[in-house]
Chains A and B, each alone.
Chain A
Amino acid sequence: MNLTRRIACNPFILKSHGLSSAHFRLLTSKSDPLLEPALASSQHSTEARKPLAPPQYRFVYPEFLPDPNRVYRNPIREKLERMDMINRRTQIDIPEFYVGSILAVTSSDPHAAGKTSRFLGICIQRKFCGLRAEFVLRNYVDNQGVEITYQLYDPTIQKIDIIRLEKRLDSELLYLRDAYPEYSTFDLNMEPEILPEGSPVPLNKTMVKLKPRPWEQRWERKNFVGVSNILEIINEKMTKQMEDHKKPWEKYDLVMEYRKTIPEEEQQEIYAEVYSQLHELEIHRRKIKRSRSFIKPKKLG
Chain B
Amino acid sequence: MAPQLSGSVLSTLRNQIIRTNTHTIHTTAACNEIRKLARLRVVDNSTIGKTAMAEGKPPRCIHVYNKTGVGLVGDKVLVAIKGQMKRGILVGLKAQQKTKVPKFDSNNVVLTDDDGSPLGTRIHAPLPSTLRTILKEKSQKKGTDYTKLLAISTRFL
Chain A residues at the B interface, C-beta cutoff of 8 Å: 107, 109-112, 117, 119, 134, 141-151, 154, 156, 177, 212-214, 233, 235-236
CB-defined contacts of A112 to chain B, threshold 8 Å: 129, 132, 156
Other CB < 8 Å A-B pairs besides A109-B129, A235-B15, 11 of them? A111-B130, A112-B156, A142-B125, A142-B126, A142-B155, A146-B157, A148-B103, A148-B157, A233-B22, A235-B19, A235-B24
Interface size on B, residues (CB 8 A): 36
User: Is A214 a contact partner of B105 (Cβ separation < 8 A)?
Assistant: no
CB-defined contacts of A233 to chain B, threshold 8 Å: 22
Residue in B22, B26, B101 whose beta carbon sits within 8 Å of that of A212 in the complex? B22
CB-defined contacts of B22 to chain A, threshold 8 Å: 212-213, 233
User: Is B133 a contact partner of A111 (Cβ separation < 8 A)?
Assistant: yes
Residue in A117, A150, A235, A236 whose beta carbon sits within 8 Å of that of B157 in the complex? A117
A263 to B100, CA, bound (A): 33
CB-defined contacts of A107 to chain B, threshold 8 Å: 100
User: Is A213 a contact partner of B24 (Cβ separation < 8 A)?
Assistant: yes
Would you call B51 an interface residue if the criterion is a C-beta within 8 Å of the partner chain's C-beta atoms? no
CB-defined contacts of B92 to chain A, threshold 8 Å: 144
Would you call B144 an interface residue if the criterion is a C-beta within 8 Å of the partner chain's C-beta atoms? no
The 7 tightest CB contacts between A and B, nearest first, are A145-B105, A212-B22, A111-B129, A147-B103, A144-B125, A111-B132, A146-B102
User: Is B100 a contact partner of A156 (Cβ separation < 8 A)?
Assistant: yes
Chain B residues at the A interface, C-beta cutoff of 8 Å: 11, 14-15, 18-19, 21-24, 26, 30, 43, 92, 97-106, 108, 124-126, 129-133, 154-157
A–B pairs, 8, beta carbons within 8 Å: A111-B156, A119-B157, A134-B99, A141-B157, A144-B106, A146-B157, A149-B103, A236-B14
CB-defined contacts of A213 to chain B, threshold 8 Å: 22, 24
A112 to B101, CA, bound (A): 12
B23: min CB distance to chain A, Å: 8
User: Is B155 a contact partner of A141 (Cβ separation < 8 A)?
Assistant: yes
CB-defined contacts of A148 to chain B, threshold 8 Å: 100-103, 157
Contact A149-B97, Cβ < 8 Å, known A142-B154, A235-B18, A236-B15: yes
A218: min CB distance to chain B, Å: 13
